[in-house]
Each structure stands twice: as C-alpha cells, then as structure tokens.
Chain A
Amino acid sequence: MHLGNYLGILENSEKQLCDAFEQVARHHKDEPDIEQMCHKLSAWSREHRGRVMGFVAKYSEDRSSEPKNLKRDLFDQPRKGSLALLRDLHDLWLLTQEVQLCWTVIKQAALALRDEELKATYEFCCARTKRQGDWLLGRIKQAAPQTLIVAA
C-alpha cells in the first residue's frame, strides 16, 4: 500500500505551502493586505500539516520506498517589487494546486478504506486549500494588468 507514501507527499506539500506563505509575507511587507493574509493562510497550512501528521504515522508501516519529496524549485531568491509579487502569488497558487491534488488522491483512498476520520480531515482541510487558491487567484487577477502594462 502506498497511502503512507502519499500522505508524506501531502504533509511535505503543506509544509512547503506554509513556509512559502510566510516567505511571501516577509518579502512583501509593504503590501499590507498581502502580508496579513499570507500570515493567516500560512497558519491554515500549518494546522493542516499537523492534522495530516497523525495519518502519516498511522499508515507509515505501509510506506513504500518512493521518494517522498517532490519539492519544486520555487522561490529561489527573495524577490521584491510588483512583478516579483505577481510571480510569488503565481508560485503560491501552484503550490495550493499541488496540495489540493494530493488531497484529492488521498480522499479516494480514504473512501475506499472507509477511514471516516481521514475523510473528515480531508473535508476540513481541502475546503480551506480551495479558499487559499481562490484568494490568490483573485489577487493575481487584480495585480496582473497593472504589473504587466504600467509598472516599471
């Protein structure tokens, strides 16, 4: 069974998302809405990871030898300015999609396993992952024209 492995990927993705939100909050302190919302959404991912960790332990004996780390090379360097902000929001959105897909995969297993607890965790966390993505997408849409056309 590979579920433990996939839970590891999810846990890692939530951790990356949590860290990435924190990083973007730090890099874009001058944008008040970005700083505060990224702190808040980072906290959501931190909580999600905590909830997932229990399941990683529960299914860890079944973990295969697949590498659990699918880390992307996002956020190499600190970036500043409006284009950098757009790029950072873009990358954050990609990370939320990865988390969301992981959750979709795990939900399928939870259903087949009749693991009610894992299912409930999915429902709580994945709904919030979608809200993270929705906020990013809205903010990206707002920032894109000004950044690409007018900003220096």
Chain B
Amino acid sequence: MPETRDSIHDIWGPRTPHQGQWPTRVDERTTEEPDHWVQSACVLCSNGCGCDIGVKNGRIVGVRGRAVDRVNHGRLGPKGLHGWEANNSPDRLTTPLIRRNGQLEPATWDEAMSLIVSKSKELIKEHTASAIGFYTSGQLFIEDYYTLGVLGKAGLGTPHMDGNTRLCTATAGAALKITFGTDGQAGSYADLDTTEAVLLVGHNMASQQTVLWARVLDRLASPNPPQLVVIDPRRTFTAEQATVHLAPRAGTNVAVLNGLLHLLIENGHVNYDFIENHTVGFEKLVKTVGKWTPERVEALTGVPAAKLWAAAEILGTCRTLVSTALQGVYQSMQATAAAVQVNNINLVRGLLGSPGNAILQMNGQPTSQNTRECGADGDLPGFRNWDNPDHIKELAKLWNVEMDKIPHWAPPTHAMQIWRYCETGSIKMLWIQATNPAVSLPELDRIRKILKKKDLLVVVQDAFMTETAKLADVVLPAALWGEKTGTFTNTDRTVHISHKAVDPPGQARPDFDILLDYAQRMEFRDKDGAPLIKWTTPEECFEAWKACSKGRPCDYSGMSYAKLSEGSGIQWPCNEQYPDGAAHLYPDHQFNTHADYCETYGYDLVTGAEKQPQEYKANDPNGRAILLAADYEPPHEEPDEAYPLWFTTGRVVHHFHTRTKTGRARALQAAAPEGFVQLSAEDAARYDIADGDLVEVTSRRGRATEPARISGIEPGLVFMPFHYGYWDQPEDGRKRAANELTITEWDPVSKQPHFKYAAVRIRKVTA
C-alpha cells in the first residue's frame, strides 16, 4: 500500500528548495486502500499539519497530508505518518474501571459517573469546590476545553484547574503576555519562507517540528538561504545546520541573551525610532544587559566571545528575523526572563508584524494553545485578565452567572501548586485528563505517593492504561483523535477542524460527552435556573466559544465548522476585519498592552509577584510593547562533590510525550525502542563507560538506569529523553524514567517546572 516516503530513516524527506512559496509535496502512508478520506489535522506535535484520515470498513488505515493546507503544504512527519496506528492498538481502554478492594475492576458508565458525582457533591458540601482539582491536557479540542473551563469556573467554581501545558507552554504564554499584553504569536510559519535569519533558542526544531524544519531545510537548499543562530547545549540536528551554534552551560540562557542584547545595543544595531514610538522600558533594559560583555558571558557560560560576536552580527544586520524558543528556554532556569529576552531581540530591532519577521514562542503540544485560550489552565477564556473586574463581568454575563461565582480572588492555581494541595490533603479529588503525570512530572517518586494517597480520589480519563491510570481510583475510557469531532489551534494560530472518522472502541466516549454528562449530573445552573452548559454538540459549543472569543485577540467569530471544512486551516483573528484570518498580529505595531485590554498587569521577573492594577494603570503602556529584563541568577542546584555532573532532559524525534501513542506505532517504537544516557566522550572515558553499557544516574531524588550513548554533548553534562516510563518496561524491572531524577521547583513567573537542570552522579552498572 502507498507509503510515499520512508519517514523513519529520512525524517524530513527530499528537498524542495524555495524562496517565497513553499512547494507542495503530499506525504501519504496507508496500510490498506481507504474507502474514504476524512479531513483532520495531526496531533503529534505543535506544528498542526493538515491531514486526511484514510478509513476502510470503519477502521483507520492511514493518513495523507493536505496539499491545500497553509501549515504543511501536504507534508507529514514520521510521528504523523505512523502515530495513528495507536488508535487500532488492541490494548485500548474500552470500559470504565473502579478501584474495589485495591483492584481496578470493570464498571458501567453509570456507576463510574455516579461515583464521581456523589464524591463531588459530598466534597462541595463539606469543603466547597476548592477541594476539587483538574489536571488536564494539551491534547484535547477547543470544545472539550471550553466546556471544562465553563463547568469548572461557573459550575463548580473551583480555582484549581490547570493543564500539563504548565510543563510545556506556560512560559510561552507568560512571555507573550508580559511583552505584548496578551498571549498570541506575532508571526507565521510562512515568515520562514522569506526571512534572512532564524534564531532558535533551546529549540531543536529538527526533532520537535519536523515538517517546519523541512521548510527551513528547503530554504537552506535555496540560492538565498537564511543564516541560522542556534543556542543549545547539545549538538542537535538543528545545531548541525547552524551558521553559528552557541552551546552554553546548563541554566545560563539569560546570560547569553543579555550578552546578545548588549552587543546589539553597543554595535548600534537597534531601531531607535521603533523603540521610541512602540516600546517602554528601553533604558532599564540597557542598564540590565550593560554589564554582560562578551568576556563576562564567556566566563560564565562557556560560549566563546568570538562566537557571541558572530551571532550578534547576524542578528544585528539581518533585515528580517524569525526568532523561536522552546523547552530549552521554558524548562530551564529563569524561564520567563529568558523567553522575554527573545522577544526583546526582535523588538529592539523593530522586526515584527511584517513578512519575514516573527517571534514564535513555540508550543509543545498540539492543542496547548487552546488550553490557554479556553480557560482550561491558569488563564481565563479569551485571554481575559483575572485581575480586571470588567473582564470577569464579561464572562459572568456571557455565562449568565453571578460575577463572584467565577473564582478571581487570586490567579487560577498552577499545576505544581495543585499537586502540592493534593499532597497536603486540601484537594481531595483530582481529575486527570489525557495526560500521564506519573511519567511526565518531576520527581516521580513523590508523584506516585500523591496518586496513591488514601484521602485523594484520582479520576483518570484516558485511552490507555497509562502509568497514571494504573494508580487511579476511577478510570474513564476516552475516544482518541479520529474518533470525535472538534477543532484546535497550532503554534502559528492556525485553526483546524478534525472530523470524526471512526467510532471509538467498546464503550470509550469522547471527552466532550464525558464532560457534558458530568455537568448534567451535577445539575449546574445559570442564575435563572437554566442549564449552565447550553450546548449538546461540538458544533454548538464552537459557536458558544466564538461568542466568548469575539473582540478578544483570539477572535474566532468569523469561523464556522463549514468554513474550516473547506480547505486549509485558518489563522485567528478571523472576524469582519480579517475574514480569512491574519498572518501577522501587530502589523501597525500597536500591541495589546492597554490597561483595559491586557491579559496581565505584569510581573516582577525575579520574584514572580503580580503587579497591582493601579500601578499598571498609572503607567499605562497604551499599546506599546514592554521591554523587560532580568539579571542572571545561578540555578538552585549545582554540581558538587557528591553529584558532580549537570543533568538535563529532552526528547527524541520518533516519540511524543510519554509514548502513549508513539510507543504503540510499530515503526516508531522500533526506531527508538529504549531510552539512553547521553554522555560526552570525555566523561565516558573518565567513568570507563563504553557505548551501550548500562549507566545508573542518581540525583538527590532518585535514580534511573539506561544504556550509554556517547555523542555530541558538552563534557560535564548528562542527557536523558523523558519519554520512557513503565507501561512497556523491559523485564529487568529497573527504574528508567528520566523524571525520577528531576527537581520539584518552578519558574517564579510562569510556574513551569525545571526539567533542564539538576545535579547527578553516574556509574557503570556491571552485570
């Protein structure tokens, strides 16, 4: 059956050089000839490639890229071409489970939902809804998140709702809010088609968004290639293509970025007109970065001064610039402070809001943008400001509830604090959806203990028996992508519809239906006694979401299911002004910082303290972007005698998250069957370790053992991919998850946990 290319071994496919218009190439892989195709988009990274699902006899038999789609022009990556196989996996959850006498046993939907509802009502009566928490995902659809957001905020009235997006994109959201007033990516993927330079900070695009990287590779193969500056401590696929690769020591992003800004200013490579007319805070920025001379940067970060000069020369002289950041920024020390410095580079150069210029604070997961937009995480729907009473009133009016029903006495509780409340016993029911914290959160031993607590009812809604589901009290079998209809938004604001192609297996139900069922059984009402949730189908919910988003930056009001089903995905804002969506936010350099419009009144970048409304209003930036900077601070844990090496975690190209899907796709699993401990040749020699030897890595929090892989990494640094947990554990039963070792702490502003540094020691395990 057709497989147009071997994406496992040739990840990015053949080159189609271009400048201006990216040529189409349709990638397809089917195992049987489909009897029909159903429009969708891929959910195996944040790129959001348009695809069609091939169906034969009610089963998914393959996918093909959509040539018409603006995101991928027909291409698909290895995860997209293979990951759908998980839908057909024989070990899908097909019936609800309830823990009885210590064992998870099959139950009916009515039994499972009744249990959740009676527990909810009991807790509310005794403790208020603040005893109930939700830990949701970056994998669901707009319709799921918005329903969840409304039932949580206006039905239950609990402040405790966040997504695993806290681990992947909280810093992207925070940095955009701080600089531009609200969330929302300023540019488009298409800016890569013409830009003169690309800055990738802690972003291994080649591995994480393979189709986007193909777009860059095609530019590099063109007669007029862009220059690439890559900041990454590892020599990744991305770094291998760099014009200049800066490899700083773990935890020193801010020092490097301050050094780059210092050079831009010192070399006069800044646009003073733009700064004067469209920004505030430049003088303080100059002062903060002023002491980061190339020599000082070199001494602290290990980046040679000459290389910093070379990078600053590219960034300072290019006429167009696309800057991107991902987990190497977001999950490292001073995450938000570093991410806003990336914004600041484009701002001081005035390179924003026009073709070839973009800032892409990348998302990690396919639908994490929607967790942020719809209010299913620590944000309010439509990028509203929790500290602005007028914004709360808008939501109250929209939902027809009293304003004070909606928790707004403090920022919505962030995930790490939700877990802490579970640990200390004040959250007594935790509902986990489509995510696997027993492998993905830091310090897994602690997480397992919390999930096992007797006084915490754990509900897990998932398609598979994950490591987390195994510890649940109630398991709800959920439909996957392809088995339900809904919409979602990628990193560059492109909204796709994914139509239902096949039925879910057994009794598995769409997340949307599960949430509606809960709302109905809980009898959530508006203030006139009518049902709070006024929709019964995904399309009706999308219409309600359009009304909620109207007039806000993420304006969906010009879209419809019909319009989204016509051809390509569509970028928001889509409204009267932009009926076909907008490629750039801020084309006139008017930003969303007006006091009555902004999503946040700002933060202290060092302490994370929220700025007070009156303080903000007194100096209303009124549409100017905010230049904010912080000085470098050392990490809280550094190598010492007992734990002499730096430790960092990350991803491999063939897997996604905890491999719940990709580990069940035959070719992906075969391509990367097990984890590894990546070491430099110097460290391997020092510890007498050969390639393939089992290495035990130990931190203050736990240990993990995997085979050694000796390759391009700075000496003194140890890397492990975080994908590998225990559901398909090798027979020796060893602990192998990278997050056994990571540290429980988080960025003070974005509250994103630190997965990118810890101190460890290693030893060779001799059989």
Decide yes or no whether B604 CB sits under 8 A from chain A: yes
The distance from the CB of B76 to the nearest CB of chain A, in whole angstroms, is 40
Q: Contacts A131-B606, A131-B609, A152-B426 known; A142 to B745 CB distance under 8 Å?
A: no
Count, chain B residues at interface, CB 8 A = 30
* Shortest distance from the beta carbon of B195 to any chain A beta carbon, whole Å: 38
Additional 7 contacts, C-beta under 8 A, given A134-B607, A149-B130: A32-B416, A135-B609, A138-B608, A142-B411, A149-B127, A150-B128, A152-B425
Binary A-proximity of B591-628 (CB < 8 A = 1, otherwise 0): 00000000000001011111110000000000000000
Q: Does B746 contact A (CB under 8 A)?
A: yes
Given contacts A146-B426, A150-B128, A150-B426, contact A141 B409 (CB under 8 A): yes
| Chain A residues within 8 Å of B, Cβ to Cβ | 31-33, 36-37, 40-41, 81-82, 131-132, 134-135, 137-138, 141-142, 144-147, 149-152
19 CB < 8 A contacts A-B: A32-B745, A33-B748, A40-B607, A82-B424, A131-B609, A134-B612, A135-B604, A135-B607, A135-B608, A138-B410, A141-B409, A142-B410, A146-B426, A147-B426, A149-B130, A150-B127, A150-B130, A150-B131, A152-B425
Question: Judging by beta carbons under 8 Å apart, are A134 and B609 in contact?
Answer: yes
List of B residues within 8 angstroms of A135 by Cβ: 604, 607-609
Q: Which residues of A contact B636 (CB under 8 A)?
A: 36
Does B745 lie within 8 Å of A33, measured CB to CB? yes
| Chain B neighbourhood of A41, CB < 8 A | 607
B134 CB → nearest A CB, Å: 15
Q: Which 6 A-B pairs have the closest CB atoms?
A: A134-B609, A135-B607, A135-B609, A151-B426, A150-B426, A32-B745
Nearest-Cβ distance from residue A25 to partner chain B, whole angstroms: 12
Would you call B609 and A138 a contact (CB within 8 A)?
Answer: yes
- Are A131 and B604 in contact (CB-based, < 8 A)? yes
A131–B607 CB distance below 8 A: yes
Alpha-carbon distance A97/B131, docked complex (angstroms): 33
**Chain A, interface SS category:** helix
Pick the contact of A33 from B413, B424, B746 — CB < 8 Å? B746
Q: Closest CB of chain B to A53's CB: distance in Å?
A: 24
Contact A145 B130 (CB under 8 A): yes
Task: Tell me whether A141 and B425 are in contact in the complex, defined as CB-CB below 8 angstroms, given that A149-B128, A150-B128, A150-B131 are known contacts.
Answer: no
Q: A33-B746, A150-B127 are contacts. A145–B604 as well, Cβ < 8 Å?
A: no
Return chain A residues, CB-CB under 8 Å to B130: 145-146, 149-150
Contacts of B612 in A (CB 8 A): 134
B610 touches A138 (CB 8 A): yes
Q: How far apart sit A51 and B421, CA to CA, in the bound complex (Å)?
A: 40
Q: Whose C-beta in chain A lies nearest to the C-beta of B421?
A: A146
- The chain B residue with its CB closest to the CB of A152 is B425
| Chain A residue contacts of B410, Cβ below 8 A | 138, 141-142, 144-145
* B420 with A31: CB separation less than 8 A: yes
Distance in Å: Cβ of A117 to nearest Cβ of chain B: 20
Candidates A37, A82, A141, A152; contact of B607 at CB < 8 Å: A37
Q: Which B residues are CB-close (under 8 A) to A40?
A: 606-607
Q: How far is the CA of A32 from the CA of B729 in the complex (A)?
A: 31
The answer to whether B426 touches A82, judged by C-beta atoms less than 8 angstroms apart, is yes
